[in-house]
Amino acid sequence: MGAAVAAVDRAAFVEWLERVGDNALVLGHRVSEWCGHSPVLEEDIALANQALDLIGQCQLWLGLAGEVEGQGRSADALAYLRDAAAFRNVLLVERPNGDFGQTLMRQFLFDAFHIELLRALKASSDPRVAEIAAKAEKEVAYHLERSADLVISLGDGTKESRNRMQKALNVLYPYTGEMFHDDATDKAVAEAGIAPLPSSLRAAWDATVREVLEAATLTHPGETYQQGINGAGGGKRGVHSEYLGYILAEMQFLQRAYPGAVW
């Protein structure tokens, strides 16, 4: 274990790694639900590939979470054997897929955050975090390019596609604030130089979102109520929407019913 681990509360580090890993896992699972259902074959393939990237990244993050935790839990154990309240993903990524526009808007709003997070993590004081971030950043740059292009094409598209994109934006925007909300865990890992404070990523995200929404001729929702920040709720604290339970029921069934099953 390096110096960084000694300098930070281990539980906070594990919790933070679970947040990053669970975001990738839950969004990866959501996107994979499109496999075989997309409007066109190329999009079906694109979504499946993105799901694969995210689940691959989740394996790295949760693998490290298990290593830092030091209780012998693997990435698989963390993904398959935790209950909903132990998941630490933000509410945005567990939102239902809705229509294709809603899926893409969710992807864009998350990708624009994800890229800024990974870029900052490349300078992490923990080399294991920095190298996973450097790997994932290249993949996520590609995701953002695609989701931004499609938000622009569909926003600045037909009347129908524009309406759907605007509706998707209005529904999802209240779930974006949680990504930038700093809590005690965030502050502990930031002080150790492991990760940036989420709030420090906000300005760059805002700039990307404004630029793309403008090109897409969509109306920015402005200041709206933000979910998961006030009171005791929020995915980062393990208080999820009911949707996560359905995701886990499907994702975890096999390992729960047949413990230890392998391919």
Partner 1 sequence: MSAATRPQIDEIWRWLSQVPDPEIPVISLTDLGIVRDVVWQDETLVVTVTPTYSGCPATSIINLDIEQALRERGIENIRLERQLSPPWTSDWLTEEGREKLRAYGIAPPIDGTAADGRLAGRIARLAGSSNLTIACPRCGSTHTEKISQFGSTPCKASYRCTDCLEPFDYFKCI
Would you tell me which residues interact with partner 1 (CB under 8 A)?
42-43, 45-46, 49-57, 59-60, 127, 130-132, 134-136, 138-139, 141-142, 145-146
Q: Which is nearer to partner 1, 41 or 257 (CB)?
A: 41
Q: Which is nearer to partner 1, 70 or 127 (CB)?
A: 127
Give which of 105, 227, 226 is closest to 166, Cα–Cα: 105
Q: How far is the CB of 60 from partner 1 (least distance, A)?
A: 6
Which CA distances in Å does 126 have to 30, 43, 190? 30, 36, 11
Q: Which is nearer to partner 1, 25 or 168 (CB)?
A: 25
Q: How far is the CB of 49 from partner 1 (least distance, A)?
A: 4
Q: Which is nearer to partner 1, 82 or 128 (CB)?
A: 128
**CB-CB contact of 94 with 30 (8 Å):** yes
Q: How far is the CB of 164 from partner 1 (least distance, A)?
A: 20
Structure tokens at 215: 């090109």
Q: Which is nearer to partner 1, 143 or 240 (CB)?
A: 143
Question: What is the torsion angle, in degrees rounded to the nearest 10, for the CA atoms of residue 64, residue 68, residue 69 and residue 71?
Answer: 90
Q: How far is the CB of 138 from partner 1 (least distance, A)?
A: 5
What b/e readout covers 165-187, taking b as 16+ CB neighbours within 10 angstroms?
A: bbebbebbbbbbbbbbbeeebbe
Q: How far is the CB of 253 from partner 1 (least distance, A)?
A: 21
